[in-house]
Copies of this chain bind each other. A is one copy, B any other.
Amino acid sequence: MQKNVSLEEAWRRKYPEQVVLVLTKHDDGRINIMAVGWIAIVSDDPGMFMIGIDDQAFTLELIRRNREFVIAYPAKNMADVTRYVGTVHGHNIDKGSASGLAFTPATAVNVPLLSDAVANFECETVAEYRPGNCPLIIGKIVACHVNTDDSIQRLVNAGSGYQLQ
């Protein structure tokens, strides 16, 4: 049976929610990383992702400037680092160094891959929309990479307050 509730209360039932890491690069070489939950595949030929990035995010500034980024699926053993990059801001902190993550050069964009991720998708921005209160970036996938270890699985967000598992 259904009962009418507020949006906030209804979205408490949305879990498990997906989570990805979005990598960007600053002109000074710093790598920035952000955790994003508002993500979907939006085209399969060509392959495209949509990511929702809030106005205040340093990631948004870097994507608008350079029009390229990498989307990585974090592995289950990356819960702590995903929580870390999802809760601190890149304007003041060099999250790439502070996170302790390992990087691998990409093939088509000037942003690195996450060495230990389940998969990495190199993206070029092709559109930006704003239907509500959040900018939506559309990235065309220009190269793909997967972890050579087939056994690792994607991290998911199992509940509010970053219950990553």
Task: Please measure, in the bound complex, the distance between the C-alpha atom of A45 and the C-alpha atom of B126, giving whole angstroms.
Answer: 25
* A73 adjacent to B13 (CB under 8 Å): yes
* A127 adjacent to B138 (CB under 8 Å): no
Interface string of A126-157 (1 = CB under 8 A from B): 11010111101010110111111100001010
A107, CB-defined interface residue at 8 Å = yes
* A131 adjacent to B127 (CB under 8 Å): yes
The smallest beta-carbon distance between A82 and chain B, in angstroms, is: 16
A→B interface (CB under 8 Å): 1-7, 9-11, 13-18, 37-48, 50, 52, 73, 104, 107, 113, 115, 117-121, 126-127, 129, 131-134, 136, 138, 140-141, 143-149, 154, 156
Nearest-CB residue, chain B, relative to A104: B2
Task: Please measure, in the bound complex, the distance between the C-alpha atom of A73 and the C-alpha atom of B10, giving whole angstroms.
Answer: 10
* B50 adjacent to A7 (CB under 8 Å): no
Nearest-CB residue, chain B, relative to A9: B146
Picked from B13, B42, B113, B141, the residue with its CB within 8 Å of the CB of A38 is B42
Task: Please measure, in the bound complex, the distance between the C-alpha atom of A121 and the C-alpha atom of B4, giving whole angstroms.
Answer: 10
The smallest beta-carbon distance between A111 and chain B, in angstroms, is: 14
The smallest beta-carbon distance between A103 and chain B, in angstroms, is: 10
Given contacts A2-B104, A146-B5, contact A52 B47 (CB under 8 A): no
The smallest beta-carbon distance between A19 and chain B, in angstroms, is: 11
The smallest beta-carbon distance between A14 and chain B, in angstroms, is: 7
* A10 adjacent to B146 (CB under 8 Å): yes
